[in-house]
Structure 1
Amino acid sequence: MKKCIILHLSIFSAMVNRIDSTDKARDLIHTLEAQHGALMFYQAGGCCEGTQPQCFEKGGYFPRMNDAMIGLVEGYEFWVDRDLFEYWKHAHFTLDVLEGFGPGGFSLETPLGKTFKVHYRLFTDKELKELSPIKRSE
């Protein structure tokens, strides 16, 4: 039994994350967490908020059917619009923070004069074979 557990954990730890964050993003997340409690992120495919990631209180936004949860940032789910995910499924996301206001004002960091931003890079062929699984909303 121990061998199975160890093997399972080593396989899981070898998976490639689809999202990471910068120190600035992690610091802002902790600030927002202290003010608002549990959080969640959603990155839409356009409209009034563009494609900037939005931070909400957990449960403050409901992902649409078949949207993709690509991973956790500081323990909080990061959801991506289903159509946007299809476009960016071969890319690694890095959550960062910029000074100033983003394209809208729905995200929790807006009153602090900051906006979350995602930097993208394509996965290598090796990384594509080892990607962590996504979760789809139902």
Structure 2
Amino acid sequence: MSDGATEPRVLATDAAIDLIREIRRDHPDILFHQSGGCCDGSSPMCYPADDYIVGDNDVKLGEIDGVPVYISSSQYEVWKHTQLIIDVVPGRGGMFSLDNGREKRFLTRSRLFGGGEVCLVQPRG
């Protein structure tokens, strides 16, 4: 999504790419959904693609290493001025997330867009 005038809405660190590739050895087709809180805080949740139904109100932020990343439209409204950076830290993943039990988990970091950057994202449709 970056063409010099735009910045990608979501990125991943090298550590996140490594964990994605590890998970894909067991589950080749996965997706992320940025959690909105509750039991698993605001962690990016990683699911088998056929176990998660992307809702009509979910927004696709982009892809990291070929894996789609979604967020609810209500959360998107709050975070639309930020770039999400998926990273990895030691710990346990979300209860239903595929990073659980690997002694490392995904974590979302963010940075505000500024300086005239323009970010475009198309809702799933």
* Common topology (TM > 0.5): yes
Number of the residue aligned with 2:113: 123
Find the partner of 2:41 among 50, 59, 73: 50
- Please point out which of 13, 19, 24 is paired with 1:22: 13
User: Is the contact between residue 33 and residue 46 of structure 2 (CA under 8 Å) also seen in structure 1?
Assistant: yes
Contact 1:26 1:74 in 2 (8 A): yes
For residues 17-37 of structure 1, the C-alpha deviation after alignment (integer angstroms, 9 at most, x for no partner) is: 011111100000011111111
The 1-side partners of 2:72 and 2:39 are apart by 14
SS of the residue corresponding to residue 101 of structure 2 reads helix
What is the Cα-based RMSD across aligned positions, in Å?
1.7
Q: Which residue of 1 aligns with 2:66?
A: 75
Query: Which residue of structure 2 aligns with residue 105 of structure 1?
Result: 95
What's the counterpart of residue 7 of structure 1? none
Q: Which runs of no fewer than 5 residues in structure 2 stay unpaired?
A: none
> What secondary structure is seen at the aligned counterpart in 2 of 1:13?
coil
Cα deviation 1:41-91 (Å, max 9, x = unaligned): 001212222211000111221122221110101011000122111100000
Distance 1:107-1:12 versus aligned 2 partners, 3 A rule: closer
Following TM superposition, where does structure 1 have runs of at least 4 consecutive aligned residues deviating by more than 3 angstroms? Answer: none
- Deviation, structure 1 residue 12: 6.2
Q: 2: CA distance between counterparts of 1:136 and 1:48?
A: 26
Q: TM-score, normalised by structure 1?
A: 0.82
Q: TM-score, normalised by structure 2?
A: 0.89
Report if aligned partners of 1:98, 1:115 keep a CA contact under 8 Å in 2.
yes
Q: Alignment length, in residue pairs? A: 124
Quick one: percent identity of the two aligned structures?
A: 32
As a proportion of its length, which structure holds more helix? 1
Q: In 2, Cα distance between the equivalents of 1:64 and 1:40?
A: 13
Bigger Rg, structure 1 or 2: 1
Query: How far, CA to CA, are the matches of 1:124 and 1:111 in structure 2?
Result: 37
- The aligned counterpart of 1:135 is 122
Distance 1:47 1:62 in 2: 19
Is contact 2:34–2:70 with CA below 8 Å preserved after alignment?
yes
